[in-house]
């Protein structure tokens, strides 16, 4: 199992000033650039440490929000491509449907792959609903635009015989011939995220890496949809564990009380992530007409479940509930290892643990200690662990 260290690079210093929305409308006046600089450097130091400790690395971007200062993940990737030595560098994700220019995306990602000497893992995402009002992309066409951008980027990365032409629904180019071409052949591995069975199946058909967040003990249903898609394309062997990824919060310490203290800080992520003005939570066309009709009736399908089927609301759950739902792995190294193994058995195989090892107000000292402890006490055992392989 690979373990990726992830932080959203939060700016929690402004979390108490949200007035109902930490996203879209929170004025940037409340960000002190000097504090932001300290935080950015600190988060990069932690990724460098993660690289040295044997972790892989995950980065992302969001916009106009104090939950995540990284608004252009290309900057993050560029710095890490040079500052780290061995870690795989996963962007999860790059919201390609929101970018006006996928040619630029292909050039950026290919360059990062070359500079990192082939360490880029390329996650493309639809993005959360509250990215829409900032990017101003028409939410009705977001998935069509996503797949056209995806098709274009893959073709740009895999075409080596001179320019090709592109006259699509959303993008037009005369001479596509990217320099440099990517280091990895035919292109860096593709990942994506989803919370729907339909999209999980599509990812399975393509054989990409599927990642889920907050799906807890409902994850198996999504992975099984992936497996159906995988087999539907005539593949005989079941998908290997490295096709599956799960993002979890991790709070680890030598004793349980300290782990709980860190967990309360890390839980700042789920507790703030959805603080956003209601109209921005569900842009028109972002979910299906049938789903919107159900929402009008007041029916909101639950997303997270504990092992025994209890519904957990990420935004308001206690640390114990988050742990019961496998949204968080929390405790001593023994406990954290046992929780990860138990969840992996549920999932039927999990090759990539995306570990939110820093979130909220968790300090640099705490983060360094947690990463070091995890690397010494948990990672070697996970490396020895024999993955289940569900059909």
Partner 1 sequence: MATGSTAVTVAGVRIEMVERGTGRPLLFLHPAIGIDPAAPVLDALAAKARVIAPSHPGFGGSDQPKDMNTVDDLAYFYLDLLEALEIKNAILVGVSFGGWIAAEIAIKSTERIGHLVLADPVGIKVGDRETRDIADIFAMTEPQFNERAYFDPAAAKRDYPAMAEADLVAIARNREATARYAWTPYMHDPKLKGRLHRIGVPTLVLWGAADRIVTPDYGRAYAAAIPGARFAEIARAGHFPHLEAADDFSARVLAFAAGRD
- Residues near partner 1 (CB under 8 A) are 133, 136, 138-141, 277-280, 283-285, 289-290, 292-293, 296-298
Tell me the C-alpha distance between 113 and 295, whole Å. 42
Residue 172 or 174 having the CB closest to partner 1? 172
Q: 324 and 312 in contact (C-beta within 8 Å)?
A: yes
Q: 303 and 215 in contact (C-beta within 8 Å)?
A: yes
Any idea of the CA torsion for 139, 145, 146, 148, to the nearest 10 degrees? 170
Shortest Å, Cβ 64 to partner 1: 13
Tell me the C-alpha distance between 355 and 58, whole Å. 9
H or E segment to which residue 145 belongs: helix 142-158
Shortest Å, Cβ 104 to partner 1: 20
Residue 136 or 384 having the CB closest to partner 1? 136
Residue 238 or 285 having the CB closest to partner 1? 285
Shortest Å, Cβ 292 to partner 1: 4
Shortest Å, Cβ 147 to partner 1: 14
Q: How does DSSP assign 70-113, residue by residue?
A: -S-HHHHHHHHHHH-SS--EEEEEE-GGG-S-HHHHHHHHHHHH
Shortest Å, Cβ 132 to partner 1: 9
Position of tokens 């959360």?
A: 128
Shortest Å, Cβ 380 to partner 1: 51
Position of tokens 């956003």?
A: 276
Residue 240 or 284 having the CB closest to partner 1? 284
Residue 274 or 345 having the CB closest to partner 1? 274
Shortest Å, Cβ 279 to partner 1: 5
Residue 127 or 283 having the CB closest to partner 1? 283
Residue 289 or 391 having the CB closest to partner 1? 289
Tell me the C-alpha distance between 108 and 182, whole Å. 10
H or E segment to which residue 265 belongs: helix 256-266
Shortest Å, Cβ 278 to partner 1: 6
Residue 276 or 371 having the CB closest to partner 1? 276
Residue of 231, 226, 232, 233 whose CA lies nearest to 212: 226
How far from 149 is each of 78, 95, 97, 163, CA to CA, in Å?
21, 10, 6, 17
């Amino acid at each position: 199992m690979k373990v990726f260290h992830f932080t959203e690079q939060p700016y929690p210093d402004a979390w108490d000033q949200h007035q109902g929305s930490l996203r879209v409308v929170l004025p940037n006046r409340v960000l002190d650039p000097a504090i932001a600089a300290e935080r950015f450097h600190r988060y990069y130091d932690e990724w460098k440490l993660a690289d040295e400790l044997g972790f892989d690395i995950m980065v992302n971007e969001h916009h106009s929000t104090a939950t995540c200062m990284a608004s252009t993940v290309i900057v993050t990737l560029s710095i890490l491509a040079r500052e780290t030595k061995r870690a795989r560098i996963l962007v999860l994700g790059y919201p390609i449907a929101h970018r006006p220019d996928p040619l630029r995306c292909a050039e950026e990602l290919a360059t990062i792959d070359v500079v990192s000497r082939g360490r880029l893992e390329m996650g493309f995402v639809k993005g959360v609903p509250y990215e829409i009002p900032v990017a101003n992309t028409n939410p009705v066409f977001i998935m069509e635009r996503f797949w056209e951008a995806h098709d274009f980027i893959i073709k740009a990365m895999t075409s080596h015989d001179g320019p090709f032409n592109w006259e699509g629904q959303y993008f037009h180019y005369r001479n596509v011939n990217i320099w440099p071409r990517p280091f990895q052949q035919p292109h860096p591995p593709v990942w994506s995220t989803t919370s729907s069975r339909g999209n999980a199946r599509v990812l399975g058909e393509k054989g990409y890496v599927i990642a889920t967040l907050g799906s807890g003990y409902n994850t198996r249903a999504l992975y099984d949809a992936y497996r159906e898609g995988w087999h539907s394309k005539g593949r005989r062997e079941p998908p290997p564990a490295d096709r599956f990824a799960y993002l979890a919060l991790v709070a680890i310490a030598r004793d349980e009380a300290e782990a709980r203290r860190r967990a309360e800080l890390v839980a700042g992520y789920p507790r703030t992530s959805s603080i956003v003005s209601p109209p921005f939570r569900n842009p028109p066309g972002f979910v299906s007409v049938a789903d919107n009709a159900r929402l009008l009736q007041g029916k909101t399908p639950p997303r997270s479940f504990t092992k025994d089927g209890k519904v957990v609301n990420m935004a308001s759950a206690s640390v114990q509930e988050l742990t019961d739902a496998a949204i968080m792995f929390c405790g001593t190294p023994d406990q954290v290892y046992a929780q990860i193994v138990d969840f992996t058995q549920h999932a039927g195989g999990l090759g990539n643990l995306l570990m939110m090892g820093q979130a909220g107000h968790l300090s640099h000292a705490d983060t360094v200690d947690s990463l070091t402890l995890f690397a010494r006490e948990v990672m070697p055992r996970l490396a020895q662990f024999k993955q289940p392989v569900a059909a």
